[in-house]
Amino acid sequence: MRPRLSPQRAAIVLVTAAAGLFLMPSLLSPLFAARSDPAYPRLSDNTAASARLEVRKLLHGHVDGLFAVPSTGQVIAAAGGTLWKFSADGLLLDTLDEPAHMHVSGIAFGPEGYVDWVFTGEHERRAYAPAVDGSGLSRKELEAELDRAQVVAFGRDDAHAWAWLWTEGRAWKLRIDPYREQVDTWCRQRSHSDEALGWHATCLEDYAPQAEALVEVEPESFSRSYGDLPPRLRVAGFDRRKYHLEEGVSGQLLHATVGTVLKGMGVPGGGPGRYWFGDAHVQLDVGGETVKFKAFVPRVDGDYEFLRNMRWWEPARAMPGASPWFSVHMRGYMEHPGERELLEYYRDDIGLYVVRPRGTGEAPAAQRQLPAWQPRFEGEPTRYDPVTATVEFADGRRVERWLRPPPPRLAIDTVPQVVVEPVQPDLYALPRAMTVTWGSPGDPEERADLRVDLDHPQVRELLSAPAAGPRELVLRVPDLYAPTSRMQVLLREAGRERPLPGARLEVLRRPAFRPYYQGTPSRHDQLRANVAAAAGGDDTALDEFLRQAAALAQDPERADDFTPAVTAAYAELVNASNVAGNTASSSRLVRHYLAQVHPHASAHPDPSVGYNIGVIASQTLAFAIRQPTERDLVDAVMATLIGPDFDPAAQTNATLAYNLACLYALEGDTGRMLQAVVAARRLGKPASQFIADADFQGYREDPRFRQALGEGG
For 410-466, write each residue's pLDDT tens digit. Answer: 665 566 778 899 999 999 999 999 999 998 766 666 789 999 999 999 999 999 999
Ordered DSSP codes for 104-118? TTS-EE-SS-EE-HH
DSSP state of 180: G
Residues 6+ apart with CB under 8 A from 322: 68, 73, 75, 88, 89, 315, 316
Contact in structure between 202 and 187 (CB atoms under 8 Å)? yes
> What is residue 457's predicted lDDT score, i.e. its pLDDT?
93
* Per-residue pLDDT tens digits for 181-205: 999 988 866 788 888 899 999 999 9
Q: In which residue ranges of the chain is CATH 1.25.40 found?
A: 523-710
The region of weakest confidence among 3-7, 500-504, 529-533, 697-701 is: 3-7
Residue 616 neighbours by CB distance under 10 Å: 27
- Rounded to an integer, the average pLDDT of 389-397 is 93
- Rounded to an integer, the average pLDDT of 642-665 is 91
H-helix or E-strand containing 133? strand 132-133
> What is residue 475's predicted lDDT score, i.e. its pLDDT?
97
CA–CA separation, 353 and 222 (whole Å):
12
Q: How far is CA 540 from CA 396, 479, 543, in A?
A: 33, 14, 5
CA–CA separation, 268 and 266 (whole Å):
6
Beta bridge partners of 234: 283
Q: How far is CA 415 from CA 244, 247, 339, 343, 422, in A?
A: 18, 17, 10, 11, 21
> What is residue 526's predicted lDDT score, i.e. its pLDDT?
94
On the CB side of 578, CA atoms within 13 Å amount to 19
> What is residue 514's predicted lDDT score, i.e. its pLDDT?
85
3-state secondary structure of 331: coil
Distance of CA 624 to the CA centre of its chain: 45
* Per-residue pLDDT tens digits for 64-110: 999 999 999 999 999 999 999 999 999 999 999 899 999 999 999 99
From the list 575, 580, 649, 654, the residue with the least C-alpha distance to 619 is: 575
H-helix or E-strand containing 418? none
Supply angle C-alpha 355, 361, 366, rounded to 5: 120
Percent of the chain with pLDDT over 70: 87
CA–CA separation, 386 and 446 (whole Å):
12
Confidence tier at 210 by pLDDT (50, 70, 90)? confident
Ordered DSSP codes for 546-582? HHHHHHHHT-TTTHHHHHHHHHHHHHHHHHHHHHTT-
Supply angle C-alpha 625, 629, 632, rounded to 5: 70
CA–CA separation, 500 and 307 (whole Å):
50
Most confident of 135-144, 464-473, 641-650: 135-144
> What is residue 418's predicted lDDT score, i.e. its pLDDT?
85
What number does CATH give the domain 523-710?
1.25.40
CA–CA separation, 575 and 622 (whole Å):
9
State the chain's mean pLDDT as an integer.
Answer: 88
- Rounded to an integer, the average pLDDT of 46-60 is 96
Residue 1 neighbours by CB distance under 10 Å: 3
> What is residue 495's predicted lDDT score, i.e. its pLDDT?
86
> What is residue 258's predicted lDDT score, i.e. its pLDDT?
54
* Per-residue pLDDT tens digits for 331-375: 776 666 677 788 888 999 999 999 999 999 888 888 888 999 999
> What is residue 166's predicted lDDT score, i.e. its pLDDT?
97
Q: What are phi and psi of 254, to 5 degrees?
A: -60, -40
Q: How far is CA 18 from CA 139, 217, 278, 299, in A?
A: 73, 47, 24, 22
Contact in structure between 242 and 29 (CB atoms under 8 Å)? yes
Residue 162 pLDDT > 50, yes or no?
A: yes
* Per-residue pLDDT tens digits for 256-286: 565 555 555 665 655 566 788 899 999 999 9
707, amino acid identity: Q
First-to-final CA distance of the chain: 137
Residue 713 pLDDT > 50, yes or no?
A: no
DSSP state of 178: G
